[in-house]
Structure 1
Amino acid sequence: MTTRLVVANRGHEYDGVVRDGESWADAARRTCGSAHAEPVPVDLSGEVKRFAIDHDLVVLLRPMTRGDLPVVTQWREQPHLRRWWAADGEPSLEAVTEAYGPRIDGMTPTRMWVVEANGRSVGFVQDYRVRDHPDFPLLTPDPDAVGVDYAIGEPEWVGRGLGVRLLWAWMLRARQRFPEAGSFFAAPDHRNAASLRVLEKAGFVEGTWFDEPQRDGSVATAVGCSLDVARVLG
């Protein structure tokens, strides 16, 4: 079955197809016909994979530093994040520093990144090799997958399509950092419909549901979502 795609650019739409052995990202680049413009996904969940070239928004990731922790604490205090991060406890600067400081310092397998939109810090990402966490490989069919969690911290950026863009920026970077990884993995709460939809638009596919113990002793039901790196990114 042929996979179709559309790339939107300055009011025009360019139709294309994915050739045998070609990734969706490479097919989108070929379809737009410009070596100076990078197509980004709009919605990869349907039969037609939709990309666009956004000339107004640049989304990048940079390593988190301890100097970022005060603003990360402010983000964690926002109502739209509190619900999904409540099990980690109250988001005081001391608690956030205790949790994220060792990751920033390279003392744990998890790494932290700040998301920038047009040069402004707007959220964060954390990633890790699934196999580096002994309890995690049971949750995904690929224990060599790279796991990811993300959060949009600035309320005014919620609901504007940034989630797909920041995941794409992370995916491109992760592909370079983990060239041997065949899949990426995320596991949002099953009630977090917005996050599940963002992952779906970015090319992730829902898989197993599982109960995940939380730091506060509670249990949350999460949905394992996986992305095929070769198929989507090449």
Structure 2
Amino acid sequence: MDGAVHLTILDRGHELSGVVRPGESWAAAARRTCASLHVTPVPIDLSGEVKRFVVDHDRVVALRAMGRGDLPDVARWRAADHVRPWFDADGEPTLEAVTEHYGPRIDGVEPTRMWVVEVNGRSVGFCQDYRLRDHPDYAALSPDPDAVGVDYVIGEAHLVGQGIGTVMLWTWLHRSRKRYPDVTSYFSAPDHRNGASLRVLEKVGFVQGTWFDQPRADGSTVTLVGCTLDVASVVG
């Protein structure tokens, strides 16, 4: 490699190549590289030396604010076999328990904001974001206590491994860039055993950092991996 950051964009069997200019974000470089196509690329994998994007003509991944009417779906997703292990310390994901946990966030009583992930208009999962400074114990574990944290779930098992998590986080990044214009980094901390979640974060530009232990509601402790994304480099 020549020291520059290179990227590729796949579009219906064709591949475009580009280079990130000094001071330019990866996202901006990808848009510029395929500007003549009048399309918006999304990441495949940004963890390697070459940043790989794709133009997806068939799938639209979007986020919308969660409402209380979404809570039955949230309870169902939380009970799914591929999701349940990462929430087991929170108890049974009954509708009553899920409503008690997420209802205040939906209502705006708590600072965490909830979003439903939609694929071509169908609800398939959720994510949440929050200022780390609103959670002092958590903020102390991040290199940037002013960062915005994000957690996410793809609830439909048959859609796991289809690249939806990557595009969902990319969509969240751009939405959050407008909602939090002063923020310079984003933070997420999956369970160290959750390799799929850690890989999704890497694919959109997060870098693994400190491992730390966090007490859970049932009295046990879980080891989490702090992952940070530099906003200026990745999103711009």
TM-score band, normalised by shorter chain: over 0.9
1:76 — aligned with what? Answer: 78
The reply to whether residue 88 of structure 1 matches residue 90 of structure 2 is yes
1:128 aligns with 2:130: yes
Deviations 1:148-182 (A, max 9, x none): 00000011111111110110111110111000000
State the alpha-carbon separation in 1 of the partners of residues 127 and 38 from structure 2.
Answer: 27
| CA deviation vs aligned residue, 1:2-29 (integer Å, no higher than 9, x gap) | 0000011111100100000000000000
**Counterpart residue type for residue 25 of structure 2:** S
202-211 or 212-221, which moves further after superposition? 212-221
Tell me which residue corresponds to 2:214.
212
The answer to whether 1:227 aligns with 2:229 is: yes
Separation (CA, whole Å) in 1 of partners of 2:141 and 2:172: 21
Query: Structure 2 counterpart of 1:70, which letter?
Result: P
Counterpart of 1:172, as a letter, is H
Match of 1:193 among 192, 195, 199: 195
* In 1: Cα distance, 2:110 partner to 2:62 partner: 23
Aligned match for 1:119, one of 115, 118, 121: 121
Q: TM-score, normalised by structure 1?
A: 0.99
- Please report how far the alpha carbon of residue 34 of structure 1 lies from its aligned counterpart in structure 2 after TM superposition: 3.4
Q: What is the CA deviation profile of residues 71-129 of structure 1, one whole-angstrom value per residue up to 9, with x for unaligned ones?
A: 11011110000111111110000000000000000001101000000000000001000
Alpha-carbon distance, 1:35 to partner: 6.6
Tell me the equivalent position of 1:45.
Answer: 47
- Alignment match, 1:29: 31
What is the DSSP-based 3-state SS (H/G/I as helix, E as strand, rest coil) of the residue aligned with 1:217? coil
TM-score (norm 2): 0.98
SS of 2:175's partner is helix
Quote the residue 1:177 is aligned against.
Answer: 179
From 100, 103, 110, the equivalent of 2:102 is 100
| Structure 2, unaligned runs of 5 or more | none
Larger deviation: 95-104 or 31-40? 31-40
Q: Structure 1: which 5+ runs fail to align?
A: none
Alignment: residue pair count: 234
Instruction: Indicate the RMSD between aligned Cα atoms, in angstroms.
Output: 0.8
Q: Which ranges of 4 or more aligned residues in structure 1 deviate by more than 3 Å? A: none
Q: Where does residue 144 of structure 1 map in the other structure?
A: 146
Partner secondary structure for residue 166 of structure 1: helix
d(CA) in 2 for partners of 1:134, 1:19: 37
How far apart, CA to CA, are the structure 2 residues paired with 1:96 and 1:131?
A: 24
The structure 2 residue matched to 1:156, chosen from 155, 158, 175, is 158
* Structure 1 CA distance for aligned equivalents of residues 72 and 33 of structure 2: 43
